[in-house]
């Protein structure tokens, strides 16, 4: 195995050297380059004037937002050379991305990372995609065709005043392209050392002058990786998705969008599962699978120059089976939003919403137990937010609040106060204070999960012990009071700097309280149950900051730097584990170079600090991409990932003992053709 790693490492070193030499040689040449307008990178001015919608649930310029916002557009994603959404997010400030195995990811904003990170709201076209079972996101079932993504907006900090509970530390909104922007055909086919095959096909049709529709399909096959001990991880997978989007503009004042997608995936992974009453943990190769689909409709109408109303609704059905637990879930959501400018100085945005979620769970008694096999929950919500131009084009004050009533904790209120000051075009300063809550998940309310095995002699002279983590209806919402400040500065036409600082006060965070051990069967015990109950006994604060800089060195060379720091001071039963799963420091340096001969050479150097709770060392890695456009509608690219070092571990699972995979160097080649 070591010889194989050395051989792979030598090959990767050769690949790195070849790419660097080619990039340096091409950069040194002076010559004309045939521009491909559709693929050019945005200028600094265009980056600052990008319209975003996630921060305030309305369109506004990125430079006019009183929030920490990062945007990845479709060309950014293309030039990163990645094949999944989590990989695309790695270089953004304040975003923690860690890979557990071939298909499981930990993604969070401003700490608290987990494979089911519960303080981050993830949406696709405004549709919430987190699972109420664990209050996290299953990234593998949201494997969209990356070529259909218009942009990804990431809000660092609370977004609960407009989006609601669970938008605690951040919001990620994945926005797909309108159908009229994808007319014609496109095929993307690639393969490599880990991503054995990845292919997508779409076709857009102009039905009429006002209506366009596209259909798409995608399939991926991923090879197994190595586990951290050097053996086979047995985590290969196959997944496919297909869907459509229709956009219709019946008049100059109205628009309608209808989209739908279905998916199916089969996976493998190694996990330590309990065998009761013994011999304890057994490493088992499980075969999870998932399938489902959704349909979303959105209608909007501009009533006049000062008023627009929008109605959105979606329904989705998902099944998720991991051998020891099977979940079937149906979600329905409807929301009405109205933006109104009653005066020149006030911009009012308000809305109401209703969500219904129902599930059915089947589990293995050796691992988990849900006394309520079926459950239905309802959520009622309303929000209002006003942007007041105290000094037009100079000072804007924002006040907003969202009210929610849920079946777990009842009534919740989540307010925000914000201010944006622009003393000059190249300077802007913003301040914000917000409250957000994270409501309990299904598992924290009424599940019992076997999380640890204690050998005989630990809690009983003869019998083994099993630690059982139980949810309770007494578990309350976690609370955050967040205070933020940001400064955007453009000291030169070619340089933009965005700095943000934050101080977060957390209360009622999840912890655990041990109970009195008891035999599993009073008459014929085979093991001792060591009960642990979910409680809100952890509190404290985090603080830190993020720095992002974009430098347009020349017309053909752009650099992007991001740095993030977070500190923890938590107290309670879960304090050490909660803080230990997030790196203190993260750095990313991205270079995008347009070369003569329709070539592109892109590189990203990343440093990720150590994790203390699972004791994972820090690492430095490098990604490279070389792209070529022999024709305007044809692109050929080759990318290398994690090219420094022979491999590293990035993450570990807390509650469920998934065996981590080694993140090793890999290569991926891709051909894209538009027709």
Q: pLDDT value at position 669?
A: 97
Q: pLDDT value at position 646?
A: 82
Contact of 539 with 509, CB cutoff 8 Å: yes
For the chain of 675 residues, list the mean pLDDT of each consecutive stretch of 10.
42 42 39 38 66 91 94 96 96 97 96 95 95 90 94 97 95 97 97 96 96 98 93 94 97 96 95 80 90 97 95 96 90 98 96 97 80 94 98 97 97 98 95 97 91 90 92 95 98 96 98 93 91 96 98 96 98 91 97 97 98 94 98 97 92 90 96 97
- Count how many residues are written for the chain: 675
Strands 170-176 and 120-124: parallel
**Ramachandran assignment for 654, one of left (phi > 0), alpha (psi -120 to 50 degrees), beta (any other):** alpha
The CA–CA distances, whole Å, from 12 to 471, 642, 661 equal: 47, 9, 19
CB atoms near residue 196 (< 10 Å): 15
Query: Is the dihedral angle over the CA atoms 2, 8, 14, 20 positive or is it negative?
Result: negative
Q: pLDDT value at position 28?
A: 38
| DSSP per residue, 323-373 | SSEEEEEEEEEEEEEEEEEEETTEEEEEEEEEEEEEEEEEE-TTTEE-S-S
**Residue 142 three-state SS:** helix
How far apart are the C-alpha atoms of 433 and 485, rounded to whole Å?
9
φ and ψ at residue 426, rounded to 5 degrees: -95, 5
Q: pLDDT value at position 17?
A: 42
Total domains, the chain: 1
| Contacting residues for 366 by C-beta, under 8 A, at least 6 apart | 273, 274, 275, 276, 324, 450
**Residue 455 three-state SS:** coil
| Contacting residues for 246 by C-beta, under 8 A, at least 6 apart | 179, 211, 212, 213, 256, 257, 258, 259
Assign residue 554 the CATH number of its domain.
2.40.170.20
How far apart are the C-alpha atoms of 603 and 626, rounded to whole Å?
9
Judge if pTM exceeds 0.85. yes
Note down the domain range covering 639.
Answer: 2-674
Q: What is the SS3 assignment for 202-264? A: EEEEECCCCEEEEEEEEEEEECCCEECCCCECCCCEEEEEEEEEEEEEEECCEEEEEEEEEEE
Contact of 348 with 368, CB cutoff 8 Å: no
Query: Is the dihedral angle over the CA atoms 320, 322, 327, 333 positive or is it negative?
Result: negative
Contact of 360 with 374, CB cutoff 8 Å: yes
């Amino acid at each position: 195995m070591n010889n194989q790693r050395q051989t792979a490492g030598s090959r990767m070193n050769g690949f790195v050297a070849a790419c660097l030499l080619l990039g340096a040689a091409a950069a040194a040449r002076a010559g004309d380059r045939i521009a491909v307008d559709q693929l050019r990178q945005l200028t600094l001015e265009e980056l600052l004037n990008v319209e975003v919608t996630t921060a305030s649930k309305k369109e506004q310029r990125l430079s006019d937002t009183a929030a920490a916002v990062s945007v990845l557009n479709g060309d950014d994603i293309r030039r990163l050379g990645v094949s999944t959404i989590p990989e695309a997010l790695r270089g953004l400030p304040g975003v923690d991305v860690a890979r557990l195995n071939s298909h499981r990811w930990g993604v969070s904003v401003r700490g608290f990372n987990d494979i089911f990170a519960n303080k981050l709201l993830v949406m696709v076209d405004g549709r919430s995609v987190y699972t109420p079972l664990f209050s996290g996101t299953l990234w593998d079932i949201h494997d969209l065709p990356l070529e259909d993504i218009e942009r990804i907006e990431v809000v660092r900090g609370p977004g609960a005043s407009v989006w609601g509970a669970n938008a605690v530390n951040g919001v990620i909104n994945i926005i797909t392209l309108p159908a009229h922007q994808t007319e014609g055909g496109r095929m993307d086919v690639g393969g490599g050392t880990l991503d054995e095959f990845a292919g997508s096909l779409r076709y857009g049709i102009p039905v009429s002058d006002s209506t366009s529709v596209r259909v798409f399909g995608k399939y991926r096959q991923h090879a197994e990786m190595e586990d951290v001990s050097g053996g086979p991880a047995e985590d290969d997978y196959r997944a496919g998705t297909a869907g459509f989007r229709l956009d219709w503009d019946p008049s100059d004042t109205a628009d309608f969008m209808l989209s739908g997608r279905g998916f199916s995936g089969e996976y493998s992974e190694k996990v330590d599962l309990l065998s009761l009453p013994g011999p304890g943990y057994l490493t088992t190769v499980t075969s999870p699978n998932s399938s489902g689909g959704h349909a979303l409709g959105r209608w909007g109408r501009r009533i006049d120059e000062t008023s627009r109303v929008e109605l959105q609704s979606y329904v989705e059905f998902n099944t998720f089976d991991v051998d020891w637990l099977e979940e079937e879930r149906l979600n329905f959501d409807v929301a009405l939003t109205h933006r109104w400018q009653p005066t020149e100085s006030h911009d009012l945005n308000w809305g109401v919403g209703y969500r219904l979620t129902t599930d059915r769970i089947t589990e293995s008694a050796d691992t988990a137990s849900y006394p309520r096999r079926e459950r239905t929950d309802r959520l009622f919500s309303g929000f209002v937010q006003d942007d007041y131009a105290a000094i037009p084009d100079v000072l804007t004050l924002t006040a907003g609040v969202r009210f929610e009533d849920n079946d777990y904790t009842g009534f919740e209120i989540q307010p925000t106060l914000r201010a944006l000051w622009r003393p000059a075009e190249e300077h802007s300063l913003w301040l914000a204070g917000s409250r957000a809550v994270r409501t309990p998940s299904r598992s924290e309310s009424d599940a019992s999960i076997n999380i640890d095995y204690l050998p005989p002699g630990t809690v009983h002279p003869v019998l083994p012990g099993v630690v059982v983590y139980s949810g309770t209806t007494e578990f309350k919402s976690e609370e955050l009071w967040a205070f933020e400040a940001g400064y955007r500065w453009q000291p030169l036409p070619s340089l933009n700097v965005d700095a943000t600082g934050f101080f977060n006060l957390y209360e009622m965070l999840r912890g655990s309280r041990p109970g009195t051990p008891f035999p599993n069967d009073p008459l014929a015990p085979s093991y001792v149950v060591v009960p642990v109950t979910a409680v809100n006994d952890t509190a404290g604060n985090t603080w830190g900051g993020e720095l992002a800089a974009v430098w347009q060195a020349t017309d053909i060379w752009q650099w992007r730097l991001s740095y993030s720091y977070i500190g923890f001071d938590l107290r309670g039963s879960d304090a050490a584990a909660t803080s230990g799963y997030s790196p203190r420091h993260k750095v990313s340096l991205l270079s995008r170079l347009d070369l003569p001969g329709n070539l592109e050479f892109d590189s990203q150097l990343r440093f990720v600090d150590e994790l203390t709770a699972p004791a994972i060392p820090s690492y430095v890695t490098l990604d490279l991409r070389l792209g070529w456009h022999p024709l305007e509608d044809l692109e050929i690219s080759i990318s290398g990932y994690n090219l420094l070092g022979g491999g590293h571990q990035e993450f570990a699972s807390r509650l469920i003992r998934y065996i981590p995979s080694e993140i090793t160097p890999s290569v991926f080649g891709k051909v894209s053709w538009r027709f």
